[in-house]
Amino acid sequence: MARSTPARTRGGVKVPSGPQIYKPSIKDELADRYSAALKQYLRSFGEQSLQEAYEIGRQAISGGLCVTEMVTIHHDALIKSLIPLLVPEEQEGKFRVPNGDGEERETPVLQPQERKHLVKSAEAFLDECLMPFEITYLGYVEANEALRMSEERYRELFENANDIIFTTDLLGNFISINRAGEQATGYAREAARRMNFGEMCAPESQEAAFRMLNRRVMGEYPGPCELDLITRDGRRISVEIRCQLVYREEKPCGIQAIARDIAERKRAQESLRHLTEALEQEAKRIAHALHDEAGQLLASVHIALESVARDLPAAQGERVRGIEGLLDEIEDQLRRLSHELRPTILDDLGLAPAIEFLSQGISARTGVPIVIEADGVSRLPAPVEEALYRVMQEALMNASKHAKATSMTVTLRQQAGEFICKVRDNGIGFDLRTALTDNTERGFGLINMRERLKFVGGTCVITSSPNQGTEVLISVPLENRDAAQNLTG
């Protein structure tokens, strides 16, 4: 085997000197295999040789060879194995062909019919070798057609969608925007392509917009984000945006986003908020009426009955005092209803004492012990306390009515940036999807819980399964006071 010598330097470039070891390419290797397989096939016409031809074609595709190169390989193989059998060198009609041991043997020239069969067989061998190329080409044509149709459907959806659809690069610079986006923002496509997404956002929405984009670029999956956009003529439109990464060669290269106009939903939420506030005020009025006015009337009845009892014989006086006992029960029930409608303790002492009082009442009626864990909980804005109290009330009432639990735990925790409430029971559990779709008291209650939390920017996650109990996890952000300020405004 030849040994390589150290390289010499010429003009700053290393030039190898001495004999070099030749390393055959994939084309050379396949050419040798093809020639050998073709010879074998022309001798025996066996199926195994055709399978070898197909495998050579498949490996040629993997090696990056094209059809022209395969035809060249076939041509060279024909020269080696077929041509000597077709044209005689001498008139006697015989060839002198090396037999591999240094000598030669005479091979008769084939007759025309045999030549034709041999040529057709070589063509069949080439066809089998090129079959993987044909399959690949057909697959490419089908994939290309499917891609074209998919692009046409996407373009149609992109242009005719009612929502704003746009794409940006990873820095938020616009790449494209659909017709709905042009109409909503007032910016033509050419003008939008010279802008950054942040330039369309209202000043107070820019931080949230870039935080959403950055989280998506970092591989996180942020939920929908509500933002205000400023149109070209200065109008403000509220949108809900969802975004996803666009990939090229498995690397993120941009962001595609869909923005939906939520002005109608905002108006509906505002109307619902006002209605909720009105109902809360009405509940407060009724609660005070039950607690103060009805309580005073019952106190007057107590005094009157006590006066009547003193003027009656002892036996009849005891019967009157029995009526006073019933009045005491009525007073207790009215006091309970008053506190459940609107506990004055919520206004006076805050959420934790109000939840504790509520839990004591529910535990007393149902016989189910409720453990309260509330450490380091301070006062919250009034709208937040009202929303959390109502949501916790609904959760405890659902657990006491439907869970068949033997114990419940309520946790209140205030930590950096958020307030956490959790209700856990060991009851029979339920199917959440079914409960949310059924027009039942529990279904409406769960929907009402989530709607109330939306007003203060909170979330509610319910985990439940049959015979595994239920956990209601409520979270309200404390660093963003916008929702609370809107409620009090």
Is residue 288 included in any domain, yes or no?
Answer: yes
Residue 296 corresponds to which amino acid?
Answer: Q
Q: In the predicted model, what is the mean pLDDT of residues 135-148?
A: 83
145-172, pLDDT tens digit by residue? Answer: 887 787 777 777 778 888 999 999 999 9
Instruction: State whether 299 and 393 are in the same domain.
Output: no
Q: Provide the residue range defining the domain that includes 233.
A: 162-261
Rounded to two decimals, what is the model's pTM?
Answer: 0.47
| pLDDT band at residue 194 using 50, 70 and 90 as cut-offs | very high
Whether 353 and 475 map to the same domain: the answer is yes
Residue at a domain's end among 228, 245, 261: 261
249 band by pLDDT with thresholds 50, 70 and 90: confident
Question: Residue 186 gets which letter from DSSP?
Answer: -
Label residue 175 by pLDDT band (50, 70, 90): very high
Domain-embedded: residue 434: yes
- The model's confidence at residue 199, banded by pLDDT at 50, 70 and 90, is very high
- Whether residue 15 is contained in a domain is answered as no
Among the three residues 244, 261, 278, which one is the final residue of a domain in this structure? 261
Q: What angle do CA 370, 459, 336 make, to 5 degrees?
A: 35
How many Cα atoms within 13 Å fall on the side-chain side of residue 124? 14
Tell me the CATH number at 399: 3.30.565.10
Q: Do 248 and 282 have their domain in common?
A: no
* Domain termination residue (choose one: 261, 279, 300): 261
Q: Are residues 166 and 184 in the same domain?
A: yes
User: What domain count does the chain have?
Assistant: 4
Q: What is the 3-state secondary structure (H, E, C) of 82-124?
A: CHHHCCCCCCCCEEEEECCCCCEEEEECCCHHHHHHHHHHHHH
Has residue 35 got a pLDDT over 90? no
Q: Are residues 284 and 327 part of one domain?
A: yes
Q: Which residue has the higher pLDDT, 428 or 113?
A: 428
Neighbours of 262 (CB within 10 A): 17
2 within domain boundaries:
no
What pLDDT band is residue 418 in, cutting at 50, 70 and 90?
A: confident
Task: Give the pLDDT band (50/70/90) at residue 324.
Answer: confident
Q: pLDDT-derived band of residue 435, with 50, 70 and 90 as boundaries? A: low
